[in-house]
Amino acid sequence: MNNPQSIIEKLWNSHHILTDEGESLMYVDVALAQENTLHAFTELEKTGRKVLKPSQIYAFTDHYVPTTGRAKGTDGIPDAGIRNMVIDMQDMANKYGVTLFGMAHEQQGIMHIVPPEQGIIQPGLFVIGNDSHTSTHGAFGCLAYGVGASEFAHVMATQALWQRKPKAMRVTIEGELGFGVTAKDVILALIAQIGVDGATGHAIEYAGSTIRNLSMEGRMTICNMSIEAGARVGLIAPDDKTFAYVEGRPYAPKGKAWTQALEAWRALATDEGATFDKEVKLDASKIAPTATWGISPEQALPVTGVVPDPAGIKDAKKRAEYETAIEYMGLRAGMALQDIQLDRVFIGSCTNGRIEDLRAAAAVAKHGKAKVMTWVVPGSMAVKRQAEDEGLDKVFTDAGFEWRDPGCSLCTAINGDNLQPGERCASTSNRNFRNRQGPGGRTHLLSPAMAAAAAIKGHLADVREIIK
Ligand code: SF4
């Protein structure tokens, strides 16, 4: 084949308008807003600009919404600052005519869970979002990444964005995942291997049999955490599994448009012989159920491991990072990860708040009772309804877990759902840096099944010993 191209190049080229001083002006297909995007709307207000294509802008209330007590709507939000963020954002979205999935909407949920559910996300799109985990949508073969409020305002006004082309990186994962090992363990293991800056400046294409065998939910989990490896973009070439997921959803093309779309989507896959700036390979059979012990996603180990001893690390910078992490997390070098006692467990977020995640957690929850306060926060109203239809909510409440309403919740702790100083939480979210889940809070990242195992043991635990 002449000039074989990667999917990253194909997506870039198909959205490129012009280049100036090394930057490309890119056409944006879909833009995703959340409450903090209020600042972008305010910029439009100040400059008197309009939203150019309101039908391509979607707004969500997720970061600030409460996850209990929704009956009174926004009037039921006790904190005036939080309440006003939700109300003002909803008012702005309505004023500018963008599609709003507001707090009372029957499809409300997290901005990285609702758009795929609705078929808004389709292969081949350039999707931007006012949140770094917009990379999630790369699971559908999209170029998708997060931008700041000023860039978002520019997109609303022009439907285009100036960007520097990222380098291309391929992560190939081959082999079968072991018993109890999930997509979350795969991405934590990758970040532990390449580090939090291992993909800086790159867009990652995930390839290989392990990726092909993952469900769309699992692929979204992988692409979601690309940002924690330093990449802004993580994507997977679309295949029949992708097409089957999209087909029939409310915003998906129908009839002849569907047939034409399929033809275009099938041509997106990386061509044989395409080259990448960086290649990484992983053996799936070597990945174990994993948990983070420190304050960076790369500080992760198999749950059977022990907290590392900084004294054995030659690199002074890394040794200092480990010492800081151990001190903040209140751990001892050499202690078993499974001896780490917990105060809280959180199952949810845009990384692991989908139906497959809740099924995996429920399959473990039915083996015991929660020993610590455990919240299950579905990623969307659709996930919540589906889980209730399947009786998963009953499994959780019978096990003493709390069943809540959809939102970001304890992932980012800006809606009032937060840890107390010093509290330790096993969490299915994506970030474990200091204070992420509340000032002084301590976070251990893991999969939904591992989180449920931690809940019924009261400490980090190996899920394989519960669901033998
Ligand atoms: S769940 Fe967490 S990471 Fe995801 S969009 Fe919400 S705050 Fe961001």
Q: Per residue in 83-93, pLDDT tens?
A: 999 999 999 99
21 shares a domain with 148: yes
149 shares a domain with 185: no
333 shares a domain with 258: no
Give the pair of three-digit tokens for residue 195.
Answer: 């580090």
Q: How far is CA 457 from CA 348, 409, 451, in A?
A: 19, 23, 10
257 shares a domain with 131: no
Residue 54 inside a domain? The answer is yes
Pocket test for ligand 1, best of 67, 223, 349 (most atoms within 8 A of CB): 349
Residue 2 inside a domain? The answer is no
Domain that holds residue 192: 168-286
Q: What kind and span of H or E run contains 338?
A: none
248 shares a domain with 201: yes
Residue 428 inside a domain? The answer is yes
Pocket test for ligand 1, best of 36, 37, 63, 404 (most atoms within 8 A of CB): 63
Confidence of residue 18 (pLDDT cuts 50, 70, 90): very high
Residue 1 inside a domain? The answer is no
Q: What kind and span of H or E run contains 371?
A: none
pLDDT tens, residue by residue, 214-227: 999 999 999 999 99
Residue 291 inside a domain? The answer is no
pLDDT tens, residue by residue, 186-207: 999 999 999 999 999 999 999 9
Atom of ligand 1 nearest to the CA of 412: 7
Final residue in a domain of this structure, among 133, 163, 193:
163
182 shares a domain with 153: no
Confidence of residue 114 (pLDDT cuts 50, 70, 90): very high
pLDDT tens, residue by residue, 41-56: 999 999 999 999 999 9
Confidence of residue 468 (pLDDT cuts 50, 70, 90): confident
- pLDDT value at position 139? 98
Average pLDDT over residues 277-304: 98
Residue 199's domain is classified under what CATH number?
Answer: 3.40.1060.10
Cβ contact 303:461 at 8 Å: yes
Final residue in a domain of this structure, among 286, 313, 346:
286
Atom of ligand 1 nearest to the CA of 348: 1
Separation between Cα atoms, residue 367 and residue 467, nearest integer Å? 8
Number of domains in the chain: 3
- Mean pLDDT score across all residues of the chain: 97
Alpha carbon of 49 to ligand 1 centroid (Å) = 29
172 shares a domain with 133: no
Separation between Cα atoms, residue 115 and residue 30, nearest integer Å? 10
Q: Return phi, psi of residue 185, to 5°.
A: -65, -35
- pLDDT value at position 441? 98
Residue 395 inside a domain? The answer is yes
- pLDDT value at position 111? 98
Helix extents (H) in 182-252? 183-194, 209-213, 216-224, 240-246
Atom of ligand 1 nearest to the CA of 430: 3
156 shares a domain with 15: yes
- pLDDT value at position 1? 62
229 shares a domain with 119: no
310 shares a domain with 272: no
Cβ contact 219:208 at 8 Å: no
- pLDDT value at position 2? 74
328 shares a domain with 460: yes
Final residue in a domain of this structure, among 112, 134, 163:
163
Residue 292 inside a domain? The answer is no
Cβ contact 141:124 at 8 Å: yes
182 shares a domain with 159: no
Residue 368's domain is classified under what CATH number?
Answer: 3.30.499.10
- pLDDT value at position 376? 98
Residue 399 inside a domain? The answer is yes
Q: Ligand 1: residues within 6 Å at CB? A: 62-63, 110-112, 131, 133, 349-350, 408, 411-412, 429-430
